[in-house]
Amino acid sequence: MIPALMPNYNRADLAFERGEGAWVWTTDGRRFLDFGSGIATSSIGHGHPHLVKAIAEQAAKVMHVSNLYRVPQAEQLAARHVAASFADSVLFCNSGAEANEGMVKAVRKYHAENGHPERYRLICFEGAFHGRTLAMIAATGNAKYLEGFGPPVDGFDHVPFGNMNAVRDAIGPQTAGVLIEPIQGEGGVRPADLRFLKDLRAVCDEFGLLLALDEVQTGMGRSGKLWAHEWAGIEPDIMSAAKGIGGGFPLGAVLAKEHVAKHLKPGTHGHTYGGNPLAAAAGNAVLDVVLAPGFLDKVDRVARHLWRGFVALAQKHPLVVEEARGAGLLIGLKLRPEVNNGEMQSACVAEGLLTVAAGMNVLRVAPPLIITEAEADQALDMLDRACLRLTPSQAKAAAK
């Protein structure tokens, strides 16, 4: 018989009842070091007192009023995001896919309002992930996600990730913009070359296209800067965010420059929940932590420490690990073809470490931004033992 909870996930047989910082405890009392952060979402760890307090206090005052009225908490959150980024204006929603939908609508609207409704197509990249709505599975382009769901939504052209010639070849009279993750997350933790991001900015300027960044996974400090595109020294026209910005509370956002944002007039787009007082209180509390002086420097420091460990780990286990890649606290261990990333993930669980599988046989490591160097070292020890578990026995003997 079908479970009451629809079986659309492949869930590990672990149920957590509480968390503190980077640690979570199962209902049967086992403790795990959470280096997945619920898929890069619990950005400031579990049970962060400041976030807990902000949510509890706001819940007691008023949770929801709808966007028929002013929401001071959302106005404040938007103003703070504007002050801290390239953006002039921010729209709130509830998830990454929703943020991307809003972003794509804004890009199309921009061209329509500028007299070019025929410019609606976005250039996307092979290996991308933009979410699970009907339009976003088309933007993702992965045949596996599209299968069985009818004709893909029109308007997304895919080219190889990092290939500038292919981008130029794909530009036509209907092209509206380019949609890219600065680091492909689900697709296998593949960072775009910073040069490539700069070139995309230039080609968008050359052809009057909008550069739309999906920073749902890479944003909110995960790369060691607030937004990953800052490493490339470029600014997008528009950007989506979610995952880390609510610290575990569902919150998405579209951040845009004025020339794009100004076309989303009343009636063009909206959400019932988007940026309600409770969600905005959570977003403000996360920002308080992430924008506190020195916080991102500390993320960068602990990330560099962790990276040294990952490079050493890859060298020590060449039969298991092909390479470590990513940026900041979004790290992918690309495994040898003989080793399956699901098995590796299970080996990590056996050692007490939570990680997330990603495409291209990659094990994804995305700890909360608040981890200490000692916790990074503990995770590296667990990974080391997990690698040993997966090393063929003859090789294990030789490596001892």
User: Which residue in the block uniquely carries the two structure tokens 């509390």?
Assistant: 285
Q: What is the size of the binding site for ligand PLP (CB under 6 A)?
A: 15
70 annotated ligand binder: no
Q: Which is nearer to ligand PLP, 250 or 352 (CB)?
A: 250
User: Which residue in the block uniquely carries the two structure tokens 């997966």?
Assistant: 390
129 annotated ligand binder: yes
Write down the least CB distance from residue 132 to ligand PLP, Å.
6
DSSP 341: H
On whether the CB atoms of residues 245 and 286 are closer than 8 A, the answer is yes
Helix and strand counts by DSSP (H, E) for the chain: 14, 17
DSSP 308-319: HHHHHHHHH-TT
In the list 19, 36, 38, 96, the residue contacting ligand PLP (rule: CB under 6 A) is 96
201 annotated ligand binder: no
Q: Tell me: does residue 141 bind ligand PLP (CB under 6 A).
A: no
Question: Which residue's beta carbon is nearest to the bound ligand PLP?
Answer: 96
Q: What does the alpha-carbon distance between residue 209 and residue 107 come to, in Å, rounded to a whole number?
A: 9
Q: Which is nearer to ligand PLP, 159 or 380 (CB)?
A: 159
Q: Tell me: does residue 131 bind ligand PLP (CB under 6 A).
A: yes
Q: How far is CA 395 from CA 310, 318, 346, 398, in A?
A: 20, 10, 21, 5
Q: Tell me: does residue 97 bind ligand PLP (CB under 6 A).
A: yes
Alpha helices in 221-326 (DSSP H): 258-261, 277-290, 295-316
Q: Which is nearer to ligand PLP, 32 or 129 (CB)?
A: 129
Two tokens, residue 303: 């990330």
In the list 37, 42, 73, 95, the residue contacting ligand PLP (rule: CB under 6 A) is 95
Q: Tell me: does residue 322 bind ligand PLP (CB under 6 A).
A: no
What angle (nearest 5°) sits at the alpha carbon of residue 228, between those of residues 235 and 278?
Answer: 95
In the list 217, 345, 361, 391, the residue contacting ligand PLP (rule: CB under 6 A) is 217
Q: Tell me: does residue 191 bind ligand PLP (CB under 6 A).
A: no
* Footprint of ligand PLP (CB under 6 A): 95-97, 100, 129-131, 181, 185-186, 214, 216-217, 242-243
